[in-house]
């Protein structure tokens, strides 16, 4: 109806609608990011270990990127599917469906793996096609569907965001609405919603917990080139861990400090989370440079 309207404006226009729906889950992620060079990796681990008084938890995750349909009128999630879910999850799925109905997004499926699964041959050798019944062996495992919205603006703009506790100031942290739902059969669900599998990466991260804040020192690894015949097939076997290459050419690590707030529209809760993150930023002053990044870096909307 309004093809010439700027996408950014459209998001601004749509946002007030969403913030008025108080019945849907409204969890926000507040986060700050810092970059760590590869040669500082060991030192960073030690510093964080001292700060958080715990050893790092090493987590390897298969991160599958799925792109939504290239249409301006996407459908949400099938209502029948939502009804069949256990009651505790229904509100989460409904909330996600509402978001997916306004706009097409890029989402991630996360499957945790352990080091031993790399280089191991799975039992079933038959290749799976996109048209077959079981899209992937991953369907049989529990995975996490992760959807992030475009982060809220951090500078003061004319159309001020009513969610800020103090509209006069700028946000000291990045904040974004998010949904994180654990389920089986997620790959088939994505296919059902007309989402296309784009690529898979391995996320290697070291996790620390400090109060309500989680530190994650992450880097992305990609699969060796040429081995994968058809990039749109989800692989069942993982190659040797040593054959993976870092996604970033300089093998930098990303240090994220994040916390999740239950109600994004409750200014007190948001302030509680923000205060913790700002305190961490001050504590690490001179050591890690925790920054508020431009929100468009994290833009997950499908553009066409």
Partner 1 sequence: MDAIPNEFPISLRSWPSANSNDALPSIIQRINLERGGFQNITEESLREEIAREELNNGDNGDSSSEDEEEPDRAKELNAAREEFIGQIEQAHQASMLALDFISLLLSKDAPVQASLSLSPDLQAMVGAKTLGADKLAAPRTTEAQKQDNRNIAKGWKVQHLNKTVDSILASATRLEKEIEHETKYWEQVLAVSEKGWAICRLPNQKHILGVRFGFSESSPAFKGRSLAALRRKSDGTISLDQGLADAEPKTLRVRIEVDGSFTGSSILRKAVPQDSPVEALILQARNTIFSEELWQELNRESRILEPVKSKDNTLIYQLTDTKTMVLDLVPLEEEPLRFTGPDDAIAEGIFLALNILLSSAHRLAHRKRTQPPPPIVLEKRTTPPLNLLRPFITRVKHQETISKLRDILRPLHRVLSSLYLDHPPTYTQIPTLWPPQPNLTVAERTVLALTERLEVTATLTITPTTTITIKAQTHSQPTIFPQFVLSISPESPLHITCPPPTRLDSLPALQEYLYYATSCVLASIFVPSSNPPLETSSPPLEWTQTTTPSILTKPLTSTTKTKQLAFTIRCTPQSSSKGGARTILRVQWEWARGDLSGRNLALSAFPTTGLRSTLWGDGKNAGVPYFTDQESRLGVSPFGEEDFDFAGNGEGKGSGNGNGGKKKRGLQAEGYYEWIAWVGEDDSDKGFFEVVRSLRSVVESAGTVKGGEK
Within 234-263, the residues that bind partner 1 by CB under 8 A are 259-262
From the list 36-44, 70-78, 219-227, 266-274, the region that binds partner 1 by CB under 8 A is 266-274
Please name which of 169, 148, 161, 160 lies closest in space to residue 274, comparing C-alpha atoms: 169
Is residue 141 a contact residue for partner 1 (CB under 8 A)? no
Is residue 218 a contact residue for partner 1 (CB under 8 A)? no
Is residue 209 a contact residue for partner 1 (CB under 8 A)? yes
Is residue 177 a contact residue for partner 1 (CB under 8 A)? no
Kindly tell me which of 67 and 216 has the beta carbon lying closer to partner 1.
Answer: 216
Is residue 232 a contact residue for partner 1 (CB under 8 A)? no
Please name which of 111, 304, 37, 39 lies closest in space to residue 196, comparing C-alpha atoms: 304
- Which of 37, 57, 79, 192 is close enough to bind partner 1 by CB under 8 A? 57
Total residues belonging to the chain = 304
- Which of 37, 54, 101, 287 is close enough to bind partner 1 by CB under 8 A? 54
Write the DSSP string, 81-128.
HHHTS-HHHHHHHHHHHHHHHHS-BEEEEEEEE-GGGBTPPPS--S--
Helices (H) and strands (E) in the chain, counts: 6, 9
Tokens standing for residue 112: 């945790």
Q: State in angstroms the smallest separation of the CB of 104 from partner 1.
A: 27
Is residue 211 a contact residue for partner 1 (CB under 8 A)? yes
Tokens standing for residue 62: 């298969």
Is residue 279 a contact residue for partner 1 (CB under 8 A)? no
Tokens standing for residue 134: 């079981």
Residues that bind partner 1 (CB under 8 A): 27, 53-54, 57, 207, 209, 211-214, 259-262, 266, 268-269, 272-273
């Amino acid at each position: 109806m309004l093809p010439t309207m700027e996408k950014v404006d459209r998001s601004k226009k749509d946002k007030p609608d969403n913030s008025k729906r108080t019945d849907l889950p409204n969890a926000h992620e507040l986060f700050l990011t810092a970059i760590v060079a590869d040669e500082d990796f060991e030192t960073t681990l030690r510093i964080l270990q001292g700060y958080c008084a715990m050893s790092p938890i090493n987590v390897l995750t298969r991160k599958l990127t799925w792109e939504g349909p290239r249409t301006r009128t996407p459908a949400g999630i099938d209502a029948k599917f939502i009804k069949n879910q256990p009651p505790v999850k229904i509100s989460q799925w409904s909330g996600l469906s509402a978001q997916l109905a306004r706009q097409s997004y890029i989402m991630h499926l996360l499957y945790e793996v352990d080091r031993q699964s790399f280089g191991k041959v799975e039992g079933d050798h038959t290749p799976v096609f996109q048209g077959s019944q079981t899209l992937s062996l991953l369907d049989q495992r529990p995975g996490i569907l992760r959807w992030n919205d475009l982060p809220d603006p951090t500078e003061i703009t004319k159309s001020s965001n009513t969610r800020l506790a103090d509209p006069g100031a700028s946000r000291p942290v990045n904040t974004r609405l998010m949904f994180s739902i654990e389920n089986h059969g997620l790959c088939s669900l994505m296919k059902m919603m007309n989402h296309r599998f784009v690529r898979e990466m391995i996320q290697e991260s070291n996790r620390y917990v400090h109060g309500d804040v989680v530190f994650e020192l992450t880097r992305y690894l990609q699969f060796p080139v040429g081995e994968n015949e058809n990039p749109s097939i989800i692989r069942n076997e993982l190659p040797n861990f040593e054959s993976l290459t870092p996604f970033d050419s300089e093998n930098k690590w990303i240090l994220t400090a994040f916390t999740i707030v239950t109600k994004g529209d409750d200014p007190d809760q948001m302030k509680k989370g923000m205060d913790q993150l700002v305190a961490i930023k001050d504590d690490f002053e001179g050591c890690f440079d925790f920054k508020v990044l431009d929100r468009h870096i994290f833009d997950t909307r499908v553009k066409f």
